[in-house]
Chain A
């Protein structure tokens, strides 16, 4: 028999017992739908997480240096960190480490009241050097960013995030207005462009920036930093630059082995790699569960096929009598199992992808489909049909035609 005729015969045979065919497809369809939907939802979520981190980190061609050994969780606040990172460390890195384009200095805190007339908010307050906006690709929606002049003269000027602007000004134009940060008056010289949502969907716009010099001398009265942002000439160079920065800072901070670093260098790429890893561990678990569901579908196919073989003994006998070889019978039953399973798989993929699309839209995410997983699901359903069809098909091929035709 030719391939097409085999599939055609299998199709007719399945069409003759629709109810059984339906139940045989069900298991695989459910498994594959779960596989497709979970993988696609997972992929949409993963892509969104990456977008969120990218927005928070700004750019990928940077290294971040924070005070203290080990990775401190959460956001450091000036006053709550080790005073180990000095202002002078910034220029020293910029000049002393090859491959470094420039270094931004940051002092941050998030526990200061910011008020305008009767309104007040508690945003993230960032004291930043004037190159910060450029390094992070931050743009202003109106007004202007901080300048070298602002930094040098310890100007009491601020650029506020959109959330702060709307909370304090309710649509009034903030430019030129004077707001109070911990009771110190600052003139608004710009409003930042929206940065969207960060990790966990939280807003990145509830923020304001002031010159780091002003922050240090007029607001916090601290001469150490919470963050240094090192911009690289070539982002592929980040490992080597990180090592050089570490060596330089140990020397500047007079750290002698076996004493540990009093700072931590991290790269956005390493952070991303970590997120990707968590994502892939999760997707492995999800995949495992769905694969098991599909295998259960395969077991359903096998047991219903076995029942089918014993019900169809006479048919098998007739086919053998009119000239079918054992191999013909085997191929027929295998083709039926494979066709059922693949049809179940296709239905599962359609349902799963549909479910994933609805799921993503409900979460207001752009839908994403993990095509490798969908292709894998299709291949899996074919394999499940063949593997689980093998034993019933072998049984069918070995039905004794004389026995089957008697009575």
Chain B
């Protein structure tokens, strides 16, 4: 699914000095793997996830997604890759506040060129246990519910890869638990999941744990065989 080799990412600060967030990161993630990325704050986890999610491009190195070299694509082409092949889940949910749960779930379908599939959006809401909340505005939902709507949104275009940046970071433990159960069930459907977290318990849901320190992969350990919860 993911083949990243020698990825580096250097930002330029406002005053012109360079900051290197990632250096020489290489990793291969197979289809269907559930990988957790851990590391201290500022270690480069989000930088890595942005590159894997085609939101950002590496300063050097190459990134192949599903066999295609996406680090060479234009901004437009990367938008299409995100649309069809990647679902994002954020720490702060990032739902459109003045849209309903259903409208939020349907959002990715706007950019596929195909007609919107309302039935699929409703079905996804059912699937995340929010069938009855379809017409609620995002602001009327609890944090856990918002994150589950966000997961339904990430699934709207049926992408093989899900990227989650601290998805339980803003949730209490019960809501966090149900989100993790949901993600685990998505892995069982065959999706590849890369999840960034601080939390040891959250990390325990994954098959494999990559630790990043100062922009470098410090360890890469298999916790158990794929999908054996």
Contacts and interface: CB of A to CB of B under 8 A. Distances in A.
Contacts of A170: none
A323 B94 contact: no
A272 B73 CA distance: 69
A319 B76 contact: no
Nearest to B85: A323
Interface in B78-118: 79-80, 82-84, 88, 90, 92, 94-96, 98-99, 103, 107-108, 110-113, 116
Given A1-B111, A318-B94, A402-B55, A325 B157 contact: no
B84 A326 contact: no
Contacts of A324: 79, 83, 110-111
Given A1-B110, A323-B79, A324-B111, 5 more contacts: A315-B96, A318-B107, A325-B79, A326-B75, A401-B55
Given A1-B111, A401-B55, A402-B56, A323 B82 contact: yes
A9 interface: yes
A322 B83 contact: yes
A316 B112 CA distance: 17
The interface centre, meaning the residue of A5, A318, A323, A407 with most chain B CB atoms within 10 A of its CB, is A323
14 contacts: A9-B110, A17-B98, A315-B96, A319-B110, A321-B53, A321-B94, A322-B88, A323-B84, A324-B110, A325-B80, A328-B110, A402-B50, A402-B56, A405-B94
B56 A323 contact: no
A323 B80 contact: yes
B23 interface: no
Contacts of B98: 16-17
A322 B107 contact: yes
Given A401-B55, A405-B94, A326 B76 contact: yes
Instruction: Rank and list the top 6 A-B pairs by shortest CB-CB distance, nearest first.
Output: A323-B83, A322-B108, A323-B111, A16-B98, A325-B79, A321-B88
For chain A, the bracket of interface size reads 20 to 34
Contacts, number: 72
Interface of B: 46, 50, 53, 55-56, 75-76, 79-80, 82-84, 88, 90, 92, 94-96, 98-99, 103, 107-108, 110-113, 116, 153, 156-157
B82 A321 contact: yes
A17 B97 CA distance: 11
B99 A322 contact: no
A317 interface: yes
Interface string A38-77: 0000000000000000000000000000000000000000
Nearest to B46: A406
A12 B137 CA distance: 14
A160 B82 CA distance: 91
A318 B84 contact: no
A402 B9 CA distance: 14
Contacts of A247: none
B110 to A, nearest CB: 6
Contacts of A405: 55, 90, 94
